[in-house]
Structures are given as C-alpha cells and as structure tokens.
C-alpha cells in the first residue's frame, strides 16, 4: 500500500473488485545458509469479490504467498495475475493490513488514513470526504485528530483498515491483522470487518491462525501444508451473508472447524 506507483498501473483502469489467479507459483529465498523453499507449488483462483482465508502451520509460506500477490516479492517460478494482468511489481491498488498497524506516530488518525493518497498525489476534497466516510464506518470519526498513541490496539487496527480502503483498492490483503489483539477485541474486529466487507465486497485474502475467524469471515478457505508447502485444501464456506455471530452455534460450523483443524495438524508425508 505504501509502495511507489508503478508506471502503467493506473488506478482508474481497475474495477472495484479484482480477480486473482496464481498458477504454479514457487518461491525460493536465497539466504546466507543456502536456499529456503518457502512455497513449493501454489495454484488457485479467487473470483471478483470473493473473501478467501489462508490457514496453515507457522512457516508454511502464507505471508510469502501474500507478498507475491502484492508484488512485493518476486515469484521464483509460476505466475500471478490480477484481472488477467501479470503481477510484475508492487500492486498500488492493493490495500494491505499486517499484524502491526504501522501508523505514523506524529500524524493524526485522519492523516494516517490519507497517507497512501498523500504518497502518490495531491489530496483532494473527495479524498477527505472518503476518509471521513471510512472513519465513520470504523467508528473512529470522533478520534480523527488523535495521535495513534492515544488509541487502543483495536482502534489502531481500525485506522489501518480505513487506510487500506482509502484508495478503493481492487484487492484487500490482510496478514494476521488481528493476531496481536486480545480475544474480545479480536472478536469485535472480526464482526467489524465482516460488516465493512459486506458493504464493499472487495476481493480479499486473509491470513490467520484462527480457524473460527477464517470460517466466520470467508467464502472459501485454502489450507497450506507444511513445507514443502502446497495448498492441501480448498474448502467452500456454506453460510449465508451477512454473517451473524450465531453462525458459530451451527453444527455445520463446528464440523468444518474440526475438519480444518485435522487438516492443518495432519503430519507431513514421510520422505
């Protein structure tokens, strides 16, 4: 999101939700102690407006996969496309959220939300109107003039969510955005995200270690296996939208939870 604009990637050229496709994607990092294969092979398609979570054991390559979709890491082999166009550099239209909200401490909440626009061009009154709309949506408009240190962890992540949406991105990429929050705040954030996502229906990739969070939020869940990492499951989540907290009481929710849990903990095949 804070990446420099790339020539030829005009924001206006994209519809408000984009399709993502990965075909035979592999990633090998070169390190001082030799090559590390972070992703062995990943192929998937995500339709426009689909919310897809990625689950998998620590170190299986989830973040690496997302960084390749964002164009922030190059693929070693295979190809990723967004709306049919190969990803060859940073996707400036991608809204991103990480575990750490990475807000600028000396800027107000409002200016943090506007920061990606500020980095790419002159901020217009329309941008300010959109920032206001987003801050109202995340219930932070009364806090617009505060500095990040004056906010709670959950509020900071809501600023990060508004910032991720400020340029009306075609895709929303979230890497464990709620992992550092306490359980109650985390549940509230899940509900907020579900509500906000319902109103925008952005194509979303959401990485989490919480199986329940993934089921609650997603249309589909991909499970990555231990290294050599590939996608070992692609499961459709059958519950209607808008999602209500009561869905967790549905026996089908629990059945899916147990199925995914077994899948994540499945031992790697003996070599």
Ligand X SMILES: Nc1ncnc2c1ncn2[C@@H]1O[C@H](COP(=O)(O)OP(=O)(O)OP(=O)(O)O)[C@@H](O)[C@H]1O
Using CB under 5 A, which of 63, 76, 185, 200 touches Mg ion?
63
Q: How far is the CB of 95 from Mg ion (least distance, A)?
A: 18
3 state SS for 206-264: EECCCHHHHHHHCCEEEEECCCCCEEEEEEECCCCCCCCHHHHHCHHHHHHHHHHHHHH
* Nearer of residues 30 and 199 to ligand X, judged by Cβ: 30
User: What is the side-by-side strand order in the sheet with 77-82?
Assistant: 34-46, 20-31, 77-82, 85-86
Q: Is residue 62 a contact point for ligand X (CB under 6 A)?
A: yes
Which one of 17-25, 28-36, 41-49, 198-206 is the stretch in contact with ligand X (CB under 6 A)?
A: 28-36
- Provide the H-helix boundaries in 138-228: 153-165, 183-200, 211-217
**How far is residue 21's CA from residue 121's CA, in Å, rounded to a whole number?**
29
Q: Binding segment for Mg ion among 55-63, 69-77, 112-120, 150-158 (CB under 5 A)?
A: 55-63
- Pairwise CA distance, residues 130 & 192, whole Å: 18
Span from 27-35, 59-67, 91-99, 197-205 in contact with Mg ion (CB under 5 A): 59-67
Cβ neighbours, 10 Å, residue 8: 9
- Interaction mask 30-49, ligand X, x per CB under 6 A: -x----x-x-----------
Q: How far is the CB of 16 from ligand X (least distance, A)?
A: 28
Per DSSP, 270 falls in state P
Binding mask 228-257 for Mg ion (x = CB under 5 A): ------------------------------
Among 6, 10, 15, 29, binds ligand X (CB under 6 A): 29
Task: Identify the CA nearest to 66 among candidates 205, 167, 193.
Answer: 205
Closer CB to Mg ion, residue 57 or residue 148? 57
Q: How far apart are CA 14 and CA 203, in angstroms?
A: 12
Nearer to ligand X, 66 or 131 (CB): 66
Among Mg ion, ligand X, none, what does residue 109 contact (CB within 5–8 Å per kind)?
none
The residues binding Mg ion (CB under 5 A) are 63
The residues binding ligand X (CB under 6 A) are 29, 31, 36, 38, 56, 58-64
């Amino acid at each position: 999101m804070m990446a420099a604009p790339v020539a030829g990637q005009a924001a206006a050229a994209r519809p408000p939700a984009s399709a993502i496709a990965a075909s035979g994607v592999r990633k090998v990092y070169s390190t001082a102690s030799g090559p590390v294969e972070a992703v062995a092979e990943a192929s998937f398609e995500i339709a426009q407006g689909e919310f897809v979570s990625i689950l998998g054991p620590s170190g299986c390559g989830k973040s690496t996969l997302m960084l390749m979709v964002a164009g922030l890491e190059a693929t070693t082999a295979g190809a990723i496309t967004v709306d049919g166009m190969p990803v060859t550099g940073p996707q400036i239209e991608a809204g991103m959220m990480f575990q750490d909200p990475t807000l600028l401490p000396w800027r107000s909440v409002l200016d943090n939300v506007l920061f990606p626009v500020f980095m790419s061009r002159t901020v217009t009154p329309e941008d300010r109107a959109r920032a206001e709309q987003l801050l109202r949506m995340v219930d932070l408009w009364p806090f617009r003039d505060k500095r990040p240190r004056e906010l709670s962890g959950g509020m900071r992540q809501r600023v990060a969510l508004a910032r991720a949406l400020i340029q009306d991105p075609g895709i929303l990429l979230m890497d464990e955005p709620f992992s550092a929050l306490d359980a109650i705040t985390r549940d509230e954030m899940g509900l907020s995200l579900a509500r906000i996502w319902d109103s925008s229906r952005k194509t979303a990739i959401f990485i989490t270690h919480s199986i329940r969070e993934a089921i609650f939020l997603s249309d589909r869940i991909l499970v990555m296996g231990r290294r050599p990492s590939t996608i070992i499951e692609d499961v459709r989540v059958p519950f209607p939208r808008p999602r209500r907290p009561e869905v967790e009481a549905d026996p089908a929710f629990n059945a899916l939870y147990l199925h995914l849990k077994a899948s994540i903990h499945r031992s790697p095949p003996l070599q």
